[in-house]
Every structure is written in C-alpha cells, then in structure tokens.
Amino acid sequence: MKAHLGTAAVSATYTYSADQAYLAVTQTSADAQHITLWKTAATSVIVDHRPPEHTTVASVAWGAVAKGKKGTQPTVIVLAICLSNGQIQLLSALDGKVMSTLSGAHSSPVNDFVFVPDTASAYSCGQDDWIVKWNVAKGTVEHKFKVADSKASPQKLGLSPDASLLAVCDSSVTLFSTADHRQVARFPAHASSITTARFTADGRRLLTAASADRFVNVYDLANPAHPQPLPALSLDANVVTLAVAPTDQVTVLAEDGTLGLWSSAAPPAASSGSARGKKKRTKYSARVPEATWRVEAKETQEMVPMTSVAFVAEPEPRVLFTRGASLNPVFEALPYLENGELLASETLIRSTQTAHLVGAAQSTHGYRQSPGTAVVHAGDTDFAKPQLASSVAVNGTVDEQNQSLAERLAQLKVVAAPNAPASAAGAAAGKPDVTSLHVILTQALHSSDQELLETVLGTSSLTYDMIMSTVRKLPTAQVVPFLTALMARFQRRHTRADHLLDWIRAVIIVHCGYLLTIPDLVRKLSAFYHVLEARVNTARDLVKLQGRLELVLSQMELQHTVATDDSAMLVVNEDDEGDDEAADGMYEDLANPSRGSASTLRHVQRRATLQQLGEDVNGYDDDEEEDSGDDDVDEMAVDSEKSDASDEESGEEDSDESGDGDEEMLDGLEDDDEDSDDE
C-alpha cells in the first residue's frame, strides 16, 4: 500500500510489502531523496539507501526474487526502485545491496512497477508509453506493448490477485489480459492522474484514487469486458492512499490525516445484484465513511496526522498505521472489528513521543554495504554511519605500530610540576589552547584521522567562544569535510547532539558565504535536514524563527567585529596658519548657515574652483597667469553680482533685519573681490 504525505519542505511516500512485514519510506527534501526500509514487527530500520546521483525515484514496489542463475535458491524480499533514467534497481531487504538493475527497455523515467506473485515476471510502465514485461531472475525483457489510442503516459499499474488482469492507469483505466496482453476494456475514471489502483481479494472489484480527488471510484469486474461503476467512496479531504482487507473491508487515508473505514467495497445491494443485466445503469450516491479514526496529541490536544495505512490479517484482523514524522514514524496496529462488525468512529489520544526506538544496548552496530546503502538499527541512529575499528589486537594488547597519533598522545599523562606556578598548573588542567586545538583539527581533517578528530570533538571543556575561534581559523578547503564529519556523528549518537550542535552552528555561521557557493550542498545536507526536521516537529515555527534570528544576529556581530578591527586611523596634516584659518572660516560658515548664506556658499565654491585651476589665492602667480586669473575673477565677480542681485530681489519678503545682514555680507564679499583684483 502506498501513501504520499508531506509538506512543502519534506514529502514522503509509504509503501508496504504484500504481507505488511516491511515498510519503505521514500523521503524527498530539497531536491534530495533517500529510501528507508523498516521492519514493522520490530519497528526498526533495516536499510537506508540513496539512489544514484542525478536520478530521482518515481515509485517503489515490493516483491520476491529467487537467488541464483537458475532460481533454485530461496527467494529474497526485494524492493524495486523506479528511477528517472529508465532503470529499475532491485534492492535486497536482507543486506541492503542492489542485487541487479533492469535496464534497456525504457528510454525515459519509469513510473511504476509491479511483481507477479509466485513467478519471476514483473511489469513496468514509463513516460515513453511502453508497458514492459520483465523476467526478473534473468533481467531480460519478455514483452512490450502500449495502450491503443491513449494520449497520456501510463502512471500506475494494478494486478488482480490471480494475475489474470493488468490495470494500466493514467486518468482512465485500461484492462489487459496477462495471458496474451490483449486489451480487454478501457473506461474513464478520474479527471486527474490515478495514483492508486487496488483489486479486492476476490478480484471482482477495482478501486481507484487520483491526485486532488476526494472520491474513490469502485468498479464491478464480474464481466471484465463491461465494467460497471458502483457507488464511490467519499471523504471530506483528498485521498492519499487506500487499503483493501482480505475480508473486503476498505480503509482510506485522507490528506487531513484521518482514516475512513467501510465494511465492504460495494453496498450490499450491489454485491448481490452486480452480475445482473447491464442494460439499465443504476444511479448511486457516494458513500461516506462508516467509521472515522483520528489521533490527537495527549499533551496539546492537537491532531496528529496519520501517514500510512494497511490491513494486517495475523494474528487477528487489525489496521496498521503510522503517525508522526517520516524520519521517526510511530507504528500502531488496532483491531477494527468487534463481533464481526466494524467499530464506530474513534478519536485516539496518544503521546507525541516516538515509540519505535529500542535501547542501543539491545541492538547491533550498523554497517555499510555500498556507497549508497547502509544497514542500520533504529536504536543507534536513524541514518547510521560506520565506525572505524579500534586498534586493539585480538589478545587485548595495543598494537603500537598501528596506533594513531591521537592514541599515542592519549597514553601520555600531563602532570604539573610540584613547584610550578598555580597559573601553569591551571592551564595544564583547565581549558585547552585554541591554537593547538586548531592545529590538531587541521591535521585530523587533512589526514582523515577519525580518532584524532574525535579528540577535538570529545573535549567537553570547550566554550562556544573557543569553538568559534577554532572554526574561524579553519581553511575553506576543509569546511565541507569537517561539516560532513560533524553531521555523521550527530546522526549516529543523539546523546552528543548538544555539544556537536555548537560546532555545526559555528561552521554554518562563520563559513556561511563559502557554503552558499557549493553547487551540491543541498544534497550533502539532506540527511542532516531530515534529522533536524524530525526533532523540531513539535515546535516548528518557534525553532525556525529562533534559528533565523540567531543567524542574522551572529552575522551582524561578526561584521561589527571585523569593522572594528579594520577601522581606519584619522590622519591630520598640519599646514600653515593661513590655510587653517581659511578652513576654519569655511567650516564655521557651513556649520552656522543663515538665510543669506547662499552667497557665502557661492564664494566658497568660487575659491575652490580657482584652486582647481591652479591659481594661487595668495598672489604668487606669474604675470601671465595673473592676467588670465584676473579676467576669470572679473567674469566670476560679474556673475556673482548678478546672482547676488537676484538673491536680493527674492529676499525682499524677509524681515528688515535679515535683509540688512544680507547686504552687509554682499558688500564684504565685493570688497574682497576688489582687493584681489588690485593685487
């Protein structure tokens, strides 16, 4: 059973195996994807797989494949991963390895895949409009065909329980006979693309759900050549996925996180008379849920959305569903029948804490199988990373030749001398030196020495200021490796989160500009983003606001520190007293403006113009320059008198006192001009 839920930031698709023993969660976040395989009985992660680079996952499907070239060995539970490059990976749920890759049949993204039970065959459909029948054991193509007169690519496949009918769906449904791949029937179903197609256990009915549609259509296939529509199942919100029980009960998961349950796929009247004549088509009204389940948080009384649903037959009929974040889903199975009757609507009160994790002491350490796959245990981590083996020999002694530098340093004990001063003893036993810490960190990253790096990160006496100082000295070439190592440790052990977050925060704040220039940074940080997304789920808005404010304030503090260190010195050059007095006069005029200060400003501008032209205001120019300068001054004086006269006319509306002050200022300026001309 498949379910697709998520937000704009993170979306997840849930796919159960046929026996509901396994759950595949395909998480998509910020253009990055990874697939997590859960074992529902043990509520633990068994495999964490990443698709190949530059590819995306369209869908996944569970099945069984016999090992060995001739298929004589026991079957292995596999997950078929449909990729955007036209290939299909078969991932083993046992060890997390990619057993084989089906390729060569599709030239465009593969949309869906379905296994044929108890055989080595399977079907796939793609954007190239081809439906392909595979021999999974041999990895070869047995047959290819298309839907006749179809204008849309097939998006979803459905196989009847007896494997006699194959439903190929876009917005319509086309039924094919698997014996000869002959098209049996074609009929319209939804206005949008179909996302789910399920047959009932007896194969007599087909249920379909589409994107952005709150109805589940039901079709009677007693006569496959002439399917008959039955009353649709209606919900208040759009349908995410649906499940059909072996005893014909139906449950539908809505986008609002609630479950709707029906006692049968068709009403009793339709069940008894659906095989009768088809000349008259009866009109039915949509059927609302007979029971509705929802989950509320015990602490906040807010609704907790359900994310996936399936029916479990053993040991008793139950509804299996998950709730909470896709990174840490909580599994729960509840009975839905009482004395053969469907239970009434119910609101489940549950704690918001995750319940699937087991103690780390009861689990085994995860190990990596391939560059894209890891086998992990939920008690250790959600995305486990491998740990380096210790350098302890089999007999328990330390192999000195294979020891790292950090291990050799750890054997040396630093003891302060008896007559050493108190400050030196305190330094030896107190906080480490930031300079030496930076050197050790650089050496550890350069040589990829995990043990030496652990000595730096394991120092608990570091303050946040010391961490910031160390990170500031880190070369840009080692920023990404260091950040990757921090995130790996953050995901591996949750108990170290508080201390490691200080390092991660410092790296992001100090080297934010460099990190934004890395093209594939989103993909590298996707797993870390999922971990944080699950942890801040309870207080999402407040934590995001706090993070943004902290980043902005930290950047402002850094810029202020840099600006203070790099501030320029004020240099004063002492000139002669005449220049100082002239400058003081100009500054005094500019600092104390009045209504008649326009003429003063023009006078200052005129003197500045003379200085730019190379004229000597004090009268030390030669005769030739003096004559030309006198002409220029005369012209400028005439212009000044004209402008002053216009100023006098415009200022007649002012008071007499201000007018007298303006005239005195103009007279003084004219006298200065005449004195300069005489000189």
**Predicted local confidence at residue 548, as pLDDT:** 86
Strand 291-297 vs strand 346-350: parallel, antiparallel, or unpaired? parallel
**DSSP structure class, residue 506:** H
Tell me the pLDDT of the chain averaged across its residues: 74
**Predicted local confidence at residue 365, as pLDDT:** 33
**Predicted local confidence at residue 462, as pLDDT:** 81
Q: CB under 8 Å, gap of 24 or more: what pairs does 438-442 form?
A: 438/469, 438/470, 438/473, 438/474, 441/470, 441/474, 441/482, 442/474, 442/475, 442/478
- Quote the tokens at residue 483: 């950040």
3-class SS letters over 325-389 = CCCCCEEEEEECEECCEECCCEEEEECCCCCCCCCHHHCCCCEEEECCEEECCCCCCCCCCCCCC
Residues facing residue 166 across a β-bridge:
159, 176
pTM: 0.57
Amino acid at 158: G
The DSSP H or E segment spanning 96 is none
Residue 83 and residue 58 in contact, taking contact as beta carbons nearer than 8 Å: yes
Residue with token string 């300079």: 435
**Predicted local confidence at residue 3, as pLDDT:** 60
CA 452/CA 432 separation, integer angstroms: 15
Three-state SS at 135: strand
**Predicted local confidence at residue 564, as pLDDT:** 63
**Predicted local confidence at residue 609, as pLDDT:** 65
**DSSP structure class, residue 394:** T
**Predicted local confidence at residue 611, as pLDDT:** 64
Amino acid at 237: A
Q: Where are the domains of the chain?
A: 448-562, 577-678
**Which residues contact residue 224 at a Cβ distance below 8 angstroms, ignoring those fewer than 6 apart?**
165, 175, 184, 185
Q: What are the mean pLDDT values of the chain's consecutive 10-residue runs (679 residues total)?
A: 52 90 84 83 85 88 78 80 95 90 94 94 95 94 92 94 95 95 94 95 95 94 93 94 94 94 84 48 78 89 90 89 85 90 87 47 33 39 37 39 53 41 41 70 82 81 85 85 81 72 87 83 73 67 80 84 60 52 50 52 64 53 48 49 50 48 52 51
> Dihedrals φ, ψ of 674, to 5°?
-65, -40
**Predicted local confidence at residue 163, as pLDDT:** 94
CA 39/CA 22 separation, integer angstroms: 5
pLDDT per residue over 96-126, tens digit each? Answer: 899 999 999 999 999 999 999 989 999 999 9
